[in-house]
A and B are shown apart, each in its own frame.
Chain A
C-alpha cells in the first residue's frame, strides 16, 4: 500500500516506518489511504467537507493518534478540516504533519485546518512536522491553521517543526484558554534558498490563572524570508511569556514581532526576542573538539533547532 516515497515522507514527518500502532488516519493526495480507530479513540470521516473527526473518550490515557498527510502528485491542492474532541481527563499524543514530494513543475499545496476542543483537565501533546522534497520545479506549499479551545485545567503542548524543503508556508495558530489551563508552544523552523515562512500565533488568556509559554527558534539561510508574529492577550489574572530567537545566515531576512496586550492589571505578560548570527566562539569551541567549521555550524544548528 505504501511505496518507498510514501514511507520516506512518513518517516520524516511522523517517525513511522510503516502503518502505526493505535489510532491513525493516513491521507495521500487528497484521499484517505488507511484509517483505524481503537477502543476509546474514534476516527470518522466528515460528511460535509473533506476531513475527519477524532474523538478521544474521557479518561483515555497513554494512547496516540497519528494523522499524517502526504502529497506525492504535482499540482495537488489538498484542503482538509480535522476536528479533535478530547474528553475530560484524557491524556494523548497526537502526531500530525505533512510531507510533500514534488517531482513536477506545478505547485503542490496542503492546507490543514485543525480545531481542538480539549475538555476539562485533559492534556494533549501535539507534534506537527512539515517536510518537503523532490527534484521538480513546482512549489511545495503548506498552510496550516490550528485552533485550540482549552477548558478549565486543560493542557496543550504543541511542537511545530519545519526543517527544510517547504517553499512557502503560512501558519496561523489561535488559542483560547479557560481557567487554570496551560499552553506550551515550541516552534522550530529552518528556511533556506528562496523559501518564505510566515507564522502568526495569537493566544487569548481568557481564564483566570491560565498560563502560556511560547518559544520560537528559527534559522534563516540563503535568501529566505521569515516573519513571526506572536500575540499574548491577557484578560485577567494570568501569565504568559514569549521568546523568539532567530539565527540569521547568508542574505536571509527575518522579522520578529512579539506583542503583549493586557486587558487587566492582573495579567503578567513578558517577551524576549533576538536575531543574530552564530557566535564565533561557539564555532571555534567545537573546532577545538576536532570538528571542521562546516561540521561545527551543522552541529550548532541541530542543537539550536532540537
Chain B
C-alpha cells in the first residue's frame, strides 16, 4: 500500500512561493491501476514527483507498506521499486538504448530487453544501438521511457502522460503493453497521469485533481457522468481561482 497523507507542496516561483498541493491524501492499493486526471496545472505531475521523491512536501507523510518514506531520496525510492516515467523525458548524448535500459535494471537480460522493446514497437534490431539523443522522435522517446519503468520488477509505476507525442497506431500497442504488464505483475501499483479516455476506461479507480486538491475519486462509471455534464469546467475554474 502506498499512501499520501495530508500532503502540502510549495514551490518557488522567482521570489514568490506558490502552493501547488493542498492537503492531498490518497491511498493506492497493490495490484490496482489508477488514473489521475484533471485540468492542466491542477497538480497531477506534482503528485507524481512527490511520490518519486523529486519534490519534497512541505507537510504530510508518504507511507509505503506501513513504512514512512517521506525523507527518502529519489535513489532510495527507486531501489525500493518506485519508478517514474517523465512527461518530457530527457535525452542523453552517447548512451544507447541497450545501455539506457540496463541502467534502469542492470540485472535484466538482453533477451528480456529485446522482448520488451518489440512489445512497445521499437524493433530491437533497429533500435538497440540507437543513441538516446535528439535523433529519436518524441514518440520513440516516450515509448522508451515507459519501457524503462515497466522493464523490471517495479512495485510502484508512475507514468506521466504516456500517450503524449505517441501516434495513434502506436498508442494502442503502448496502452496494451502498460495494461498487460500491470496485469502480469505481482501486486504492482500502476499510477497513470492522463486525460485519455482509453486509459480512464481501464482504471480500477480514477482520481480527479484540480487546484491542488482531490476533487473526486471513483470508478469510470462514477466519473464519466461528471465529465459529460461539464463538471470539468468547474475544475478548470477552480484552477483559475474562479470557483463556479
Among the stretches B18-26, B61-69, B85-93, B178-186, the one at the interface with A is: B85-93
Bound-state CA distance A290–B153 (Å) is: 13
CB-CB under 8 A from B83, the residues of chain A are 288-289
- What residues of A have a CB within 8 angstroms of the CB of B148 in the complex? 289
Residue B84, interface by CB 8 Å: yes
Task: Flag if B78 contacts A303 (CB, 8 Å).
Answer: no
Give Cα distance in the complex from A305 to B99, angstroms.
15
A-B contact pairs, 9 of them (CB 8 A): A217-B93, A285-B86, A285-B89, A289-B83, A289-B148, A290-B79, A291-B75, A293-B75, A303-B93
Nearest 8 Cβ contacts at the A-B interface: A303-B94, A303-B95, A290-B78, A306-B94, A287-B74, A281-B90, A289-B104, A290-B79
Chain A residue at minimal CB-CB distance from B88: A281
- Would you call B231 an interface residue if the criterion is a C-beta within 8 Å of the partner chain's C-beta atoms? no
What is the CB-to-nearest-CB distance from A301 to chain B, in angstroms, rounded to a whole number?
A: 9
Q: How far is the CA of A128 from the CA of B129 in the complex (A)?
A: 24
Cβ A284 vs Cβ B75 within 8 A:
no
Nearest CB in chain A to that of B101: its residue: A289
Q: How long is the Cα–Cα vector from A303 to B73 in the complex, in angstroms?
A: 24
User: Is B45 engaged at the interface, CB distance under 8 Å to the other chain?
Assistant: no
CB of B190 closer than 8 Å to a CB of A: no
- What is the CB-to-nearest-CB distance from A256 to chain B, in angstroms, rounded to a whole number? 16
Option from B86, B89, B93 in Cβ contact (under 8 Å) with A245:
B93
Residues A288 and B93 in contact, CB atoms below 8 Å apart: no
User: Nearest B residue to A293 by beta-carbon distance?
Assistant: B75
The answer on a CB contact under 8 Å between A303 and B99 is: yes
Provide the bound-state CA to CA distance between A284 and B74, in Å. 8
Contacts of B73 in A (CB 8 A): 287
Q: Mark A274-306, 1 if CB is under 8 A from B, else 0.
A: 000001011011111111110000011011111
B226 interface residue per 8 A CB criterion: no
Q: How far is the CA of A296 from the CA of B74 in the complex (A)?
A: 12
A284 contacts which chain B residues (CB < 8 A)?
54, 74
Interface status of B56 (Cβ within 8 A of chain A): no
Interface: B123 (CB within 8 A): no
Interface, chain A (partner B; CB < 8 A): 217, 245, 279, 281-282, 284-293, 299-300, 302-306
For B149, the closest partner residue in chain A by CB is A288
Interface string of B70-83 (1 = CB under 8 A from A): 00011100110001
Complex partner residue of A290 from B54, B75, B93, B95, CB under 8 angstroms: B75
- Give CA–CA (A303, B52) in the complex, Å: 25
**B105 nearest in chain A by CB position:** A289
A302 to B93, CA, bound (A): 10
| Nearest neighbor of B133 in chain A, beta-carbon distance | A303
Would A287 and B90 be within 8 Å (CB), given that A303-B95, A303-B99 are in contact?
A: no
Is the Cβ of B75 less than 8 Å from the Cβ of A292? yes
A288 touches B89 (CB 8 A): no
Does B136 make an interface contact (CB < 8 A)? Answer: no
CB-nearest residue of chain A to B94: A303
How long is the Cα–Cα vector from A303 to B133 in the complex, in angstroms?
11
CB distance from B230 to the nearest CB of A (A): 36
Contact B90 A282 (CB under 8 A): yes
A281 touches which of B79, B86, B105 (Cβ 8 Å): B86
Of chain A, the residue at the smallest CB distance from B131 is A303
Chain B residues, CB < 8 A from A217: 93
